[in-house]
Amino acid sequence: MIPFTKAHGARNDFLLTWAHEAPAESVWPRAAIALCDRHAGVGADGWLLVKPASQGAPASIRLFNPDGSEAEISGNGTRCAAAFLCDAGLAGPEIEILTGAGRKRLRLLDRRGLHFEFEMDMGEARILPEDLRVTLEVQGRALDCTLVWPGNPQCAVFAGEIPEDWIALGASLERHPRFPNRTNVSFVQVRDEANLEVRFYERGAGVTMSSGTGSTGAFAAARARGLIGPRATVHTPAGPLALREEGGVILLAGPAEIVAGGEFYFSGISANQR
């Protein structure tokens, strides 16, 4: 059995398990596939293995996608991990979490029961000069892209309006030859200098309702193109996320809510989970 807590950050949902209560590390990819399956499992956009702070070391997380691949970071998932730690009494209002993309600092803004609001230091989003404007051919169309690294690979596609077939385009871009390790994809429509409309197709997960790193990448790409100011709201299908830049560092404010808990009967044999 695998104990879990379910939480979501702006409807980007995750299952969280204490690392010491998880099965052997060798089966974590298979366990992630089974757990995240929305028909034969619990269902989620990812599985987080959480270690509390110990002996001077910060709390840490490892994130597995629904396809079993391991991801560097999820902004929404990291907020969910912070909520998990706070609810267990293992973190205060200032939290440091070690992720696959380095240490991230979060500040608790508000708590109402199991609903939390955090501001998270997303760090600097790197954009190489040659990646600011990249044209990628997909399905016979030339897409105007910016390639950005806010802790994981992001491809921000700019358009006057979100394409009707953005899901199909996102699936193709995720595995475009330009990205040998695949990429996350965001489709960005600039409403004005303080508002972005964004849709997300995430590596290893597909369509998600929102994305913290995807929002950060879209914000950083729009900033680098001179399209928005130092503060902006990213509008997602799950609601708004507030971002701001200070001294080159991007800060993202958003929710995390714990919604369920239980045990998953993991057989370890993928055929039994179908």
**Whole-number pLDDT of residue 268:** 80
Whether 144 contacts 169, CB under 8 Å: no
Domain that holds residue 40: 2-121+256-273
pLDDT (mean) for 198-227: 97
| Beta-sheet pairing, 2-9 with 12-18 | antiparallel
The answer on 201 and 184 residing in a single domain is yes
Number of domains in the chain: 2
The answer on 113 and 27 residing in a single domain is yes
pLDDT tens-digit series, residues 76-87: 999 999 999 999
DSSP tally for the chain: helices H, then strands E: 4, 17
Residue type, 234: V
Q: Is 90 exceeded by the pLDDT of residue 271?
A: no
The answer on 66 and 167 residing in a single domain is no
Distance CA 32, CA 68 (A): 5
Whether 100 contacts 116, CB under 8 Å: no
The answer on 133 and 203 residing in a single domain is yes
Determine phi and psi for 79, rounding to 5 degrees: -65, -40
Query: For the chain, percent helix, then strand, then coil, each to nearest 5?
Result: 20, 45, 35
Task: Show Cβ contacts of residue 267 under 8 Å, excluding neighbours closer than 6 positions.
Answer: 34, 273
The answer on 202 and 166 residing in a single domain is yes
111 exposure class (CB count in 10 Å sphere: 0-12, 13-18, 19+) = middle
The answer on 229 and 260 residing in a single domain is no
pLDDT tens-digit series, residues 232-268: 999 999 999 999 999 999 999 999 999 999 999 998 8
In percent, the amount of the chain with pLDDT more than 90 equals: 97
Could you tell me the pLDDT band of residue 220, with boundaries at 50, 70 and 90? Answer: very high
Give, in degrees to the nearest 5, the angle at Cα 65 between 64 and 68.
Answer: 75
The answer on 265 and 213 residing in a single domain is no
Could you tell me the pLDDT band of residue 273, with boundaries at 50, 70 and 90? Answer: low
Whether 249 contacts 123, CB under 8 Å: yes
pLDDT tens-digit series, residues 137-173: 999 999 999 999 999 999 999 999 999 999 999 999 9
Letter string b/e over residues 3-35, b meaning 16 or more CB atoms within 10 A of that residue's CB:
ebbbbbbbbbbbbbbbeeebeeeeebbbbbbbb
pLDDT tens-digit series, residues 16-71: 999 999 999 999 999 999 999 999 999 999 999 999 999 999 999 999 999 999 99
CATH number of the domain that residue 232 is part of? 3.10.310.10
Q: Name the 3-class secondary structure at 123.
A: strand
